[in-house]
Structure 1
Amino acid sequence: MSAAKATTLGGTLSCMETRAMAPESEQETGRGLIYFADPMCSWCWGFSPVMQAVRERFADLPVRLIAGGLSPGVRTPLDERAKAGIREHWQQVAERAGAEFDYGFFERPSFIYDTEPACRAMVVVQAHAPQASVDFLRHLQAAFYRHNRDISDRAVLCELAGEFGFNRQTFARQFDSEHIRQETRNHFSVTRQMGVKGFPALFAVDARGRHVITSGYREREEVCEAIRRWLAAGSENE
């Protein structure tokens, strides 16, 4: 996939209602899923196989990915106490979800856990090729958690975009643009406006409104069963 062949940027997310947030396919069917995530959220990494299963089992449901913003704009390097807390989270995710981690991350000196750049990279892909956005999120997550690549770094993000199939120069221009910076801030605002308190979060939307499928990590079958119940309830009301 080439960014040069992708569609142009659409409107911003500010002041959008649920249907306005949805891609065209969702608006046509009247229902879909909204997934709130951050590439540097370890529970989102653990949830990645769950989302893959959801997309396979409910392929007719479009997924809109929103960059939630776990810790955007952080400027202070991690201290040892913060590293210990993150390590504990990683161990919990590894135990419960079976996710792989490269603990060499904790040997990085003065790492600043600013998630805005990685979220902004997500927004570039969401704007240009929304159908690839969840796969690109997984690409970022694997780079960070499994391979210890610094996805808070612009150069690394451009490399990852190139590996994913985008033209690096095109991606870099969009990544640096004020439009995408503002769009990223709008993603964060929408997350707050919709009452999301933690990640991952998955909402189902249709003519009835929004329904929370999960707020936080849940197992694959639990999530799929929640979606099946939501679909069944919608069919009864049609």
Structure 2
Amino acid sequence: MELVLAADLCSWCYGFGKELTLLEERRPDITLKIILGGLRAGATDVLDDAGKQFRLYHWERVEEASGLAFNREGLLARTGFVYDTEPICRAVVTARILRPQVDILSVFRAFQHAFYVDALDTTKGAVLAEVGSRALEAVGRPMSAEEFLQIWKLRSTIEEAAADFATARAIGVTSFPALFLRKESRLQLVSPGYAKVDELEARLKAAA
């Protein structure tokens, strides 16, 4: 059974990652493909106080629903931060290129943790390379930060990330996360947003 997740660096995607990990543990027959959404790819506006408060509101809701922690102080302390999600989406694509057989969800969640808990600047290639190389090493696929960064910078990697963004739009995704079940040559929407693992499992059984 193949699932396709359209996701980005949004707080609900962060919460959803925990539920998908639980689903993978329950259903080892499942394979998961991630399409990066490019929600704020290329954004140039600086995250101001209003933007921080907007995100804190959603963080509180996600924390209540998922039980995952958020570093609120880290967000409030950011100055001059441009909330561009293209770099981190491209980092997930980089991991996929370098280690196509790896559990990409665990790598994706490592990048989410870097932003939401460690309060790292996930628009910086060097930061993403360190996180990505450690995430790959954690799943038994060693990779140096230097090699990761080299691939992250390539024009072909930038283009592959952009292709993911276009795919997400082409399949009609307008908000994240969105989870699909691949049935033969078509995608069936299973969850148009966050859902708990029990609900996901029930929906999959019904869809199958």
TM-score when normalising by structure 1: 0.81
Whether 1:63 and 2:32 are equivalent positions in the alignment is yes
- Of residues 17, 31, 50, the one that matches 1:48 is 17
Matching of residues 116-195 of structure 1 within 5 Å: 116-130=86-100, 131-164=102-135, 165=137, 166-195=143-172
Whether 1:96 and 2:73 are equivalent positions in the alignment is no
1:129-148: CA deviations, max 9, x gaps? 23331110011111111111
Matching of residues 3-14 of structure 1 within 5 Å: none
* Structure 2 spans left out of the alignment, 5+ residues: 138-142
**Matched residue SS, 2:94:** helix
**Matched residue SS, 2:89:** helix
Matching of residues 183-222 of structure 1 within 5 Å: 183-207=160-184, 209-222=186-199
**How many percent of aligned residue pairs carry the same amino acid?**
31
Q: Which shifted more, 80-89 or 123-132?
A: 123-132
Q: Which residue of 2 aligns with 1:28?
A: none
Code of the residue aligned with 1:96 in structure 2: it is: A
**Matched residue SS, 2:104:** helix
Give the conservation status (yes or no) of the 8 Å contact 1:125–1:132: no
CA–CA separation in structure 2 for the residues paired with 1:94 and 1:133? 23
CA–CA separation in structure 2 for the residues paired with 1:157 and 1:178? 17
* CA deviation after TM superposition for structure 1 residue 47, in Å: 0.8
CA–CA separation in structure 2 for the residues paired with 1:45 and 1:75? 23
Whether 1:113 and 2:83 are equivalent positions in the alignment is yes
* CA deviation after TM superposition for structure 1 residue 162, in Å: 2.6
Give the conservation status (yes or no) of the 8 Å contact 1:126–1:132: no
CA–CA separation in structure 2 for the residues paired with 1:154 and 1:57? 35
TM-score when normalising by structure 2: 0.92
Q: Which residue of 2 aligns with 1:22?
A: none
CA–CA separation in structure 2 for the residues paired with 1:208 and 1:128? 27
1:124-171: CA deviations, max 9, x gaps? 112222333111001111111111111121111011123222211211
Seen in structure 2, the aligned counterparts of structure 1 residues 179 and 208 have a Cα distance that, compared at 3 Å, is closer
Code of the residue aligned with 1:61 in structure 2: it is: I
**Matched residue SS, 1:65:** strand
Q: Which residue of 2 aligns with 1:10?
A: none
CA–CA separation in structure 2 for the residues paired with 1:208 and 1:111? 41
Code of the residue aligned with 2:7 in structure 1: it is: A
CA–CA separation in structure 1 for the residues paired with 2:44 and 2:202? 41
**Matched residue SS, 2:91:** helix
CA–CA separation in structure 2 for the residues paired with 1:126 and 1:163? 14
CA–CA separation in structure 2 for the residues paired with 1:79 and 1:161? 28
**Matched residue SS, 1:36:** strand
- Kindly report the root-mean-square deviation, in angstroms, between the aligned alpha carbons of the 2 structures: 1.3
